[in-house]
């Protein structure tokens, strides 16, 4: 009986070893309590894609989790752009989304017109096996 218990614990650990549950956040420097958090979850090691969600928050007023497109575990890059006050453009692959921190909503968006690219704040990406938000370099003066 004891051997069966040990074997089941070891096998459970092996099944979970390839899973991913990671998150990274962007905190607005302009407004306290305003953040965007990217969450990636790969529930089983044999899943080809990880579920991706974006939590749009303006605490204490609202906080909502929105699904994005699922992606292969090694394709984690999601870019974040400033669109206006409490508004952000989110680029995931070829898909664009508009995150409104005023209402904590997320909607599909179209790519900005050529030459009208908003200011890049940074990108969520994997570094050393972890999801992180890497701020963009400030524009030259």
pLDDT at 10: 44
Domain positions in the chain are 19-135
pTM for this entry:
0.80
pLDDT in tens, the chain (141 residues): 565 554 454 444 444 445 678 999 999 887 788 999 999 998 887 788 889 999 999 999 999 999 999 888 777 799 999 998 899 999 999 999 999 999 999 999 999 887 777 889 999 998 888 899 999 987 666
CA separation for the pair 38, 97 (Å, rounded): 13
What is the Cα–Cα distance from 106 to 90, expressed in whole angstroms? 9
CB 90 within 8 A of CB 78: yes
**What H or E segment, with its residue span, contains residue 108?**
strand 105-109
Q: How far is 124 from 136, CA to CA, in rounded Å?
A: 11
């Amino acid at each position: 009986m004891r051997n069966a218990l040990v074997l089941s614990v070891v096998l459970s650990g092996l099944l979970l070893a390839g899973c991913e549950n990671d998150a990274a956040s962007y905190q607005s420097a302009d407004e306290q309590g305003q953040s965007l958090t990217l969450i990636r979850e790969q529930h089983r090691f044999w899943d080809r894609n990880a579920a991706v969600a974006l939590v749009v928050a303006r605490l204490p007023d609202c906080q909502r989790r929105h699904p994005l497109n699922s992606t292969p575990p090694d394709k984690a890059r999601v870019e974040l752009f400033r669109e206006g006050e409490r508004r952000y453009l989110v680029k995931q692959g070829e898909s664009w989304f508009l995150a409104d921190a005023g209402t904590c909503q997320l909607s599909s968006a179209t790519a900005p017109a050529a030459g009208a690219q908003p200011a890049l704040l940074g990108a969520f990406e994997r570094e050393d096996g972890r999801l992180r938000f890497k701020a963009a370099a400030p524009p030259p003066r």
